[in-house]
Structure 1
Amino acid sequence: MSSEQTDLLQVVIGGREVLIRSSEIREVVRPLPLTRVPMGPDHILGLANIHGQIVSVIDVVKVSSLSAISSDGSSSKARFLVLRHPVMHVAVWVDEVKRLRKVETRLLKPTKSSSDTVHDIDIDGSRFALLDTGKLFH
Structure 2
Amino acid sequence: MPKIRLHNDNEQILAVWVEPIGEDFWMRPKEQFTISTDATADADPDEAPFEVVLHAKGVSVFQSTGHEAVVRDQSGTEVACGHQRPLEVLRAWTESAEAAVQRTAGSSPTVREMTREHAEFMRRELTRAEATMQAQERRSSP
Task: Give the strand-richer structure, 1 or 2.
Answer: 1
Relative contact order: is structure 1 or structure 2 higher (C-alpha 8 Å, sep ≥ 6)?
1
Between Structure 1 and Structure 2, whose CA radius of gyration is higher?
Answer: 2
Name the structure where helix makes up a greater proportion of residues: 2
Which TM-score bucket, shorter chain as reference? under 0.3
